[in-house]
Amino acid sequence: MNLRLAFQIARTHLLAKKKQTLVAMLGVTFGISMFIVMISFMTGVNDFLFDIAIDGSPHVRLYNPVESSQPSPARKLYDSSHTVMVSGKRPKNELPRIKNGLKIAAEIAKMPGVTGVLPQAVSQVFFNNGPVQLPVTIVGTDADKEIQMYGLDKKMESGNIQDMKTGDDALLVGSGLAEKMNIRGGDRFSVTTPEGGIFMLKVAGTFSTGVGAIDDTRAYADLKTVQKLLNKNPDYITDIHIRLNDKEAATALRDQLTETYGYKAEDWKEANAALLAGESIRYFMTAVISLTLLIVAGFGIYNIMNMNIINKMRDIAILKATGFEGRDVVAIFLLQALLIGFFGGLLGLFIGFFFSYLISLAPFPAGGIFKVDTFPVNFKTLFYLAGLWFGMVTTLFAGYFPSRKAARIDPVEIIRG
């Protein structure tokens, strides 16, 4: 049969009862707009957190935590058939350093897939702010590598990152820290090291990563500056940061490094486990909620189509009496359902976009942990196409069964009453 004729009849039916058609559409509209808002927002948040994790972390970090988890010497004498219990174990007076750190770093740099290696000397120190002592993590590092691997130059708030290299007392201070100490570029202040030494350092600049935990507690200096501060030789390395070609290879490299060198290694996933933990939960929630909304919308359409068809039984009987076949009737009502799905869906896309846009303008109360002003929202064509597609599939199913029922109506029963 002419689909065009079915379409004309379907359209006439829908336009004749505008209010009812609108109500049917609203179910789909609501479901799809919620879907768009949720997925745009959820993926925005996920991507945002992921970027923070990736930006600030090395893919793999090699370091030497001073722990008691070394197996006790007694274990080396007795094999696993013996039970060894040692109490009161204390760590040796070991330095948290990586022996032959520079040599190891050079070896790692040659490994396949490695795009950057950054040896650091990290220590806890105290910044002296009058009588108050602020605990700070001072990172002795290489300015150019920090620029290459972490874009530290882009995070500078004042001063020039290259000034870190001049003299042996230049320091880059986190913005939160600078505020607490009330210092800025050019100021001098004193620093107390773990060994008890007191040194005067100069602020060469301030930086802001957006992560409050870092900006409030970290300072960067040239590797040699920190080594001198700690009274260690130029070979003193506590951390090796590694960047890879393919971040998914990080876990394998981590295990390989621990095996080869014996030191602890951590990949970016471990380092950001808390941040990333919520990701799959958020995706799952989005899927479940959107699906539920669409199913409910589908039921709404099913009900409305059923009602529609009950109201139209006489019309169907007449159509059949004048020679319309069962499949013509199916076409007419299925098209009605599809039109409702299409236009309801389109409206849902617009409303979804509108609210997504509003959300992207809303201030994000990240509580000072992350510096971001407004909610992160993703606008992707794929979401909108998927949303419309889901809406139409839902209406297709919702409309199909009532349409088939309509096609089976016995005209004689209806006409004879």
Partner 1 sequence: MQPVLKASSIVKTFTEPAPFQVLKGIDFEVRRGEFLSIVGKSGCGKSTLLYILSTMDTAYEGRLEMNGSLLTGLSQNRLAQFRNAHLGFVFQFHYLLPEFSALHNVMLPALKLGRYSHSEVEERAMDKLRKVDMAEHALKNASRLSGGQQQRVAIARALINDPAIIMGDEPTGNLDKNNTQRVIGIFRELASEFGQTIIAVTHDPDFAESGDRIIEMTDGLITGERILQS
Site residues, partner 1 (CB under 8 A): 1-2, 5, 9, 12-13, 15-16, 314-315, 317-328, 411-412, 415-416
Tell me the H-state helices in 250-325: 250-261, 268-271, 273-311, 313-321
Cβ proximity to partner 1: between 314 and 380 the closer is 314
Minimum CB separation of residue 388 from partner 1 in Å reads 28
Helix, strand, coil percentages for the chain (3-state, nearest 5): 55, 20, 25
Cβ proximity to partner 1: between 86 and 321 the closer is 321
Q: Find, among 15, 42, 17, 20, the residue nearest to 285 by Cα.
A: 42
Q: Which residue has the tokens 């060469």?
A: 204
Cβ proximity to partner 1: between 318 and 351 the closer is 318
Cβ proximity to partner 1: between 146 and 328 the closer is 328
Minimum CB separation of residue 322 from partner 1 in Å reads 4
Minimum CB separation of residue 29 from partner 1 in Å reads 24
Cβ proximity to partner 1: between 14 and 250 the closer is 14
For residues 36-53, one letter each, b for 16 or more C-beta atoms within 10 angstroms of the residue's C-beta and e for the rest, the string is bbbbbbbbbbbebbeebb
For residues 335-346, one letter each, b for 16 or more C-beta atoms within 10 angstroms of the residue's C-beta and e for the rest, the string is bbbbbbbbbbbb
What number of other Cβ atoms are within 10 A of residue 94's Cβ? Answer: 10
Cβ proximity to partner 1: between 36 and 316 the closer is 316
Minimum CB separation of residue 48 from partner 1 in Å reads 51
Sequence-ordered strand ranges (E) for 64-185: 114-129, 132-141, 156-159, 170-174
Measured in degrees and rounded to the nearest 5, phi and psi for residue 275 equal -60, -45
Minimum CB separation of residue 335 from partner 1 in Å reads 15
> 123 and 238 in contact (C-beta within 8 Å)?
yes
Cβ proximity to partner 1: between 21 and 217 the closer is 21
Cβ proximity to partner 1: between 152 and 329 the closer is 329
Minimum CB separation of residue 16 from partner 1 in Å reads 4
The SS3 call for residue 24 is helix
Minimum CB separation of residue 14 from partner 1 in Å reads 9
Minimum CB separation of residue 416 from partner 1 in Å reads 7
Cβ proximity to partner 1: between 297 and 309 the closer is 309
> 288 and 42 in contact (C-beta within 8 Å)?
no
Minimum CB separation of residue 315 from partner 1 in Å reads 5
Query: How many CA atoms, within 13 angstroms, populate the side-chain half-sphere of residue 244?
Result: 19
323 burial via Cβ count (<10 Å: 0-12, 13-18, 19+): exposed
Cβ proximity to partner 1: between 109 and 414 the closer is 414
> 169 and 225 in contact (C-beta within 8 Å)?
yes
> 229 and 149 in contact (C-beta within 8 Å)?
no
Rounded Cα distance between 218 and 138, Å, is: 6
Minimum CB separation of residue 325 from partner 1 in Å reads 4
> 139 and 122 in contact (C-beta within 8 Å)?
yes
295-to-110, 258, 324 alpha-carbon distances in Å? 55, 50, 32
